[in-house]
Amino acid sequence: MTELLALENVWAGYGDAVILEDISFSLGEADSLALLGRNGMGKTTLLSTLMGATRFKSGRMRYRGQDLAVVPAHGRARLGLGWVPQERDIFPSLTVEENMSVVARPGPWDLKRIYELFPRLQERRGNMGNQLSGGEQQMLAMARALMLNPQVLLLDEPLEGLAPLIVQELLRIIGQMATSGEMAVILVEQHAHQILPMTRQALVLERGRVVFSGASETLRADYSQLDKWLGVGTQ
């Protein structure tokens, strides 16, 4: 599998604080990675580091062979990184359609295709961002990231706080994206059993360090390992 994204011995954090220590992994074209760990172990910081929102201290980050660490934060979306943060960060005073159109970049993901994937957004395309439910806002955040036509999609706990029916709907959509072969996906989620079946690789962080890096199937075959690191092996 051709390398798309790679980190080698990366140290990063905020200000003088070091959160990530010696992080290494690689992601191939259209690959998928479950990023796991307890709260506060560095998962969001890792995604933020990829997007240029932390203080990069040392190591190497490559995207298609290019040194990603020297690319400013605003340039990383142009390179092909799409980010759906926990906070969603939709524009509350823009309509659903304006939220997506304002960031659109050329590629296979356009409004027609987005509406086929998210029929709810088509029904609410004239609603303002702040008029949506939490689940609809999450759909809009994901749709907006897709409108960038990314090569790597970063999803930070996209199911958090949502109703069970919405969770099932989003899991189906995320599974499609992770297995479509169109983009690589890095997925952070507390409930490991929901995302390991749809990802090829898994990375477990503990106190900002990698304690497991390997096939998702390996963790699925022995949830006692996850229980040791996360306390969620039976969830």
Quote the tokens at residue 47.
């995604």
- Residue 55 has phi, psi (to 5 degrees) of -90, 110
pTM for the model:
0.93
β pairing state of 66-67 and 55-63: antiparallel
Domain borders along the chain are 3-80+152-230, 89-149
For the segment 3-24, what is each residue's pLDDT rounded down to a tens digit?
999 999 999 999 999 999 999 9
For the segment 89-112, what is each residue's pLDDT rounded down to a tens digit?
999 999 999 999 999 999 999 999
Q: 67 pLDDT band (50/70/90 cuts)?
A: very high
State the CB neighbour count (10 A cutoff) for residue 215. 13
- Judge: domain 3-80+152-230, CATH 3.40.50.300: yes
For every residue of 37-102, DSSP letters joined together read: --TTSSHHHHHHHHTT-SEEEEEEEEETTEEGGGS-HHHHHHHTEEEE-TT----TTSBHHHHHHT
